[in-house]
Structure 1
Amino acid sequence: MTAAVAYAAAPAAAVPCPETPRASTGARPRTGGGLRVRVPLRIVVGAQYRDAALSVYIKVAALAMRPEGCTAKVSVLAEYLGLSKSVAERGLKDLTNPDEADGLTEVITTRRTLRGGRGQSAHRVVRTAAPDEHFVWVPVRAADALSPRLLRLYALIAYAEARNVPLSVGDLGGMLYHHTGKNAGQHLGARQAARLLEEIGSTGWITVHARQGLQGRHAYETHRHPLHPAVQAPAAVPDIHDGSGADDHAGSLTSREDPRTDRPAKKTGVGGSIRRRRDAGSSAQGHGEKRSNSSGGTYRGPGLQLSPRVWQVLEPVRHELPAISPYVLRRIGQEIGRQLSAGVGAERLTARLTARWVSTEDPRRDVGRWLLGAGLVRHGCRLPSCESGTTWATGERCHLCANIAEGERLAAAAAEQPPAPAPRPEPPAPPRPTTTWLPMPRPEPGPEPPGADEREQLRAAATDDTVRQALAELGAPAAIRLYGRALVLPHLTQHDEGTTA
């Protein structure tokens, strides 16, 4: 599950996969592309699901889109998919039972029975996927036309193409599993994956672009309908049938590789250590690469070879290439391959090289150095679509380069202007006068309040007139302290009413 988990969690902005020529360009496809089904990626990469589970899921999901839903029997589903009933039942069992990894049920089945007790075909729907769940679009026609294992391989390649993830044959073999026999649960491996790629490529559902992907990998292109054999690319790899020999001899019969097929290693020293000696060697005619062996002879193998896309880019300077050394020419090919893998088209590189070759006065003194240092270097801003200040796709002026040029012009104009005179300093403000705070005068001592005996005498001799007079002269609080609440409150109410009136 390690390769499958890493494959499902691959970021969207991963290593960019180079643009490959579309095999569908100019092809005559069959009628329409047909219906597609959104398949959760966990069914495609999960080792707990059989290959037939993917085919059954696609057919159930397609039939569930009808108003009445999916009511087909298992035998009908098997007939649609070209499988036996037992294989379809095992695939459906994986989908209807809770998953042992996370407990999810992909197909929800509802049993139905008529009023008289006679059974009916079950009603099936697929699970509603989470918004952030990984998925892949698979045509329903592919489930009808391809075997379950080829359909799973198609789904893996379709997901990698949508996510722009480069694939190798070993990666595909690590995500396909044996489900029966003594090797159940183990990966298929790269050799069997190569056979499956050749088989599915012959059906027209995918196109394999040999050695045109990132770092020499194959590039794969899926189709919503099978293309006619007239537009098919050559087979991805030869069928080696469990051996290293050709197809007609069914593999090599040797158990060990002949040591003479490689340069022999020379043992030196007492400890028997092995090291390779690098002699001066010599180069073959044309672009023969300098090689050496332990015997000091001349290397007679194949010379330096470049891909057709590199030769297409170097077309404007092809007459100057014989003067370039194989080492520099290899570096030039690596630089062109790096830019092509990053998404720069061959036409763009050819046009760039042609324009600079014509505009340069005398680049022929050292053509290889000129190609690496000036001819192939992209000029412009940080936008990938900018080509020397012009948008390559439209031919218009690059807006970012225009903004940068305008900012540089304003900065240069500001530097040419004389500096503005310094402002005159303002006179200092006069000091504020110091505030002197005077102490608050002490209150004058008033008459001492009467004692308890005097208050008793006043309350005993108090009349209504004396109480009202104390209220008018001293106020309610002082009158209450002198005469008490019982004598003052009745007059206090009358006094307030009289005052408000």
Structure 2
Amino acid sequence: MTAAVAHAVAPAAAAPCPQPPRAAAEARPRTGGGLRVRVPLRLVVGAQFRDSALSVYIKIAALAMRPEGCTAKVATLAEYIGLSKSETERGLRALTTPDDVGGLVEVLTTRRTLPGGRGQSAHRTVRPADPDEGYVWIPARAAEALSPRLLRLYALIAYADVRRQPLAVADLGAMLYHHTGKSAGDHLGARQAARLVDELAATGWITVHARQGLQGRHAYEAHRHPLHPVQPEDTASDIHDGSGPDDHDGSLTSREDPRTDRPLMNERVGGGIRRRRDAGSRAAGHGERRSNSRGAADSGYAGPGLQLSPRVWAVLEPVRHELPAIRPYVLRRIGHEIGRQLSAGAGAERLTARLTRRWATTDAPRHGDVGRWILGAGLPRRGCGLAACEDGITWHTGDRCPICHDNAMHALQASAGAQQQDVVQEQPPEPPPRPAPVAWVAVPAPAVSDCPPVPDAAGRAELRAAATPDTVRQAIADHGRAQATYLYGHALVLPYLAHLDSDPEGTPA
């Protein structure tokens, strides 16, 4: 816990100013990983907010947990989060004015002035969140340790980690935007996002499990605190806006509330958490030469032997009877690997159980090389991208890992679909049944005497000119409807055809 966070949450007397709604409901108390702040999701994914606005919001929300709210001036906020004063004012301006999308004000500011006219630092609190509003929990210390862009990337990964949403580098780049220059408003590309992911993973705030996610994606795991030391050069202040601060956006104050002041430190702002790796005691065997083809007795080395720490010996308890046969060089690599996993958060009990289970269920190592078996098969963690996954089982609960279960179901469905497709391809569809043969019946041609002579166009015109109702009805009765229509035309024959259809006897009237 940093001194800034400890001072921010310390109880203090209420400030003599109107009290806006308390923001304590927007922050979660310290639960293992330190103070966490509930950040609206619109601040993380909204292109209308600068990256620095997220850092400023988290720090103000953390300080606003106090009964009197946040009374730090802009210069103090900039010192807390490691930004220049001008960049902090830009981020604060985006939070205190209605945004272009939702028209909401995220930070509520109240100006304060003493009766004599002397100004004090402004009083700030955050907007109460709606019950159905999307949000993500962010550690307050992350705003001090990470740059604004890396902090926004961390927030995106933390939200996807909780929601169990698969991520690709292109998806992360689409949620990060350029805010200055010719590319202002455009999202980052996949190569830029990949570089930022590598920088964030180097700080220890996330762990990237390569190709262990759904369909070969990388699996990302967000941590509440960094898992390895952060070098001071990785946490230097972001001063891309120059050394000349712009003081036109801050409060017109001549002094700050003394309860928010902290003594200036000579150290750089945003120092990381340093943790010692337990890779074994190297002081005793530091001068030992690596083993070669000759034995230790023939090498001429007369110093002390290799020394391992007690935690490493506890992990190697299941195979302790095999350790004398392992070369010192391989044993030193085993100690380094155990120390790396212990520093990454895996407990000694978990590593011991892993070695015990695999040593009991495996055959004898090939060529009797137990050291290679420990490094290649006994110690590596197997499972999905979740750090708690142990061979498909969640370590702290004993239940089946949900991601491994989903991957197995997807693989099973894909295998079943492929097998079904293979069966369909091996068995071609049956041809449709052949229709029954048609028995053709020869129809005799009409006799020549039965067919009336076919007149030409001039003959048909004379017939139609001399046609009477009796001749038309007689033609229908003698030659049929089609031949009568051909001879006398539709206009003369159709009236008699309608009468024929209505006559039950079928004879023309």
TM-score by length of 2: 0.41
TM-score by length of 1: 0.41
